[in-house]
Amino acid sequence: MTPDAISHIVDDSPPLAAADRGGAPLRIWTDRVRARLDTVVASGRWREPRAFDAFGPQGTLGGTPVVSFASNDYLGLSAHPAVVEAGIEALRRWGAGAGASRLVTGSRPVHTELERALAEWKETDAAICFPTGFAANLGALAVLGGPEVRVLSDELNHASIIDGCRLSRSQLSIYRHCDMGHLGALLEMDPATPTIVVTDTVFSMDGDAAPVGEIAALCRRYGALLLVDEAHAVLGPHLPRRLTHDPGLTLVRMGTLSKTLGSLGGFLAGPRDVIDLMVNLARPYIFTTGLTPADAAAALAALGVLRSPEGDALVARLADLVARVDVPRRRGATGGAGVPSSPIIPVILGSEERAIKASAALLDQGLWVPAIRPPTVPVGTSRLRVTLSAAHTDLQVARLIQALAPMRAALLAQAL
């Protein structure tokens, strides 16, 4: 459906029955929905999914060949032969779906094997898988939080964290983005109340990194539990081993199977008691059909690649591509040793209209870079969100750099 069609959504519908009282038409909800859709269109925030027929970063969009710089498949593992084959074999052995929640009949041996491998990777006692990363954050915050608990959350945290905080019914305070002085002051205000500090390690729309070492030190000092969302941390920041093995810090690590590992799902890794609590109380785990065996097997195979010399080479390849494309980080955040913190590179243009036009201009050149607009980002910060993958070729990246150059030059001229 196009935006122009919005105002005609109900025009061809048959007349609605009269209300029981007063004879007024029952148009309350049809009018309400149409009015909200009209507002979306008028604000320049209309969206709809587009079918991208692809295997890896190159494919067709509406029959036109394009290269995607929109995916979070950072290492290209979704199309890795070993990952694909593992998914196929799991389909043959266990079928397409788990059939029920994990606590009913939905667990398969591959789920247990994956969780053990994730716990080993993250150097924690145990891990638990959820159907999505969104569900993992909802489960973690709903179980660990509550009316008697404070949650301190970075103002640019992901929507799944925001919704998890709401669902938890906790006492919520938002600290300024990566502002350790503000976080410390909030912790100092009420040290006796059980407190959770939650942060993305890499922020999904800005691509910058949280100072996780400083945050962990504050949590240790005030006895707060630290929940870190490492979904986008393919290039770091990586938590030092001293934090993962610090008896004075309660650390819970959230990650996804859909980005670095190229599959689907989310997980929590942490102390055994915390994970056991999730198994018994996390509603997104208890009341949801288990992760499909094929997704679990694909993620397990991808983790094997990641932790091998081939994985090291893919990470190095990605870091090199990011270094070619990246503009200087606004806060100078790096993943260490000069490695950029993430393959997420925003080109902030301001208005929704400018971002949409810039994205369309790139698409005309066969490059798909999405326009990100409110409410995903604050008003006035609409942007292109470039994401790179180790699967991109040198030629594809060179085309991107050339296409972005006039936009960056215009932004620089504006700033002078």
CATH numbers and ranges of domains, the chain: 52-74+309-415 (3.90.1150.10), 81-306 (3.40.640.10)
Alpha helices per DSSP H over 4-80: 28-42
- Of 28-42, 68-82, 116-130, 320-334, least confident by mean pLDDT is 320-334
Under a CB-based contact definition with an 8 Å cutoff, are residues 158 and 306 in contact?
A: no
Under a CB-based contact definition with an 8 Å cutoff, are residues 196 and 212 in contact?
A: no
Question: How, if at all, do strands 344-350 and 382-387 pair?
Answer: antiparallel
pTM of the model: 0.89
- Of 18-27, 170-179, 312-321, least confident by mean pLDDT is 18-27
Could you tell me which residue, 339 or 257, shows the higher pLDDT?
A: 257
Distance of alpha carbon 277 from alpha carbon 6, whole angstroms: 46
Q: Which residues of 193-207 are buried (b: 16+ CB within 10 A; e: fewer)?
A: ebbbbbbbbbbbbbb
- In this predicted structure, the answer to whether residue 337 has a pLDDT above a threshold of 50 is no
String of DSSP letters for 60-127:
EETTEEEEE-----TT-GGG-HHHHHHHHHHHHHH-S---SBIIIII--HHHHHHHHHHHHHHTSSEE
Instruction: Name the burial class of residue 39, with classes exposed (0-12), middle (13-18) and buried (19+) by CB atoms within 10 angstroms of its CB.
Output: exposed
pLDDT per residue over 211-228, tens digit each?
999 999 999 999 999 999
Distance of alpha carbon 411 from alpha carbon 406, whole angstroms: 9
Average pLDDT along the chain: 91
pLDDT per residue over 71-126, tens digit each?
999 999 999 999 999 999 999 999 999 999 999 999 999 999 999 999 999 999 99
Give yes or no for a cis peptide into 237 (omega within 30° of 0). Answer: yes
pLDDT at site 124: 97
Question: Binning pLDDT at 50, 70 and 90, where does residue 408 land?
Answer: confident
For residue 60, what are the β-bridge partners?
53, 65
Could you tell me which residue, 5 or 112, shows the higher pLDDT?
A: 112
Nearest to 293 by CA among 106, 70, 36: 106
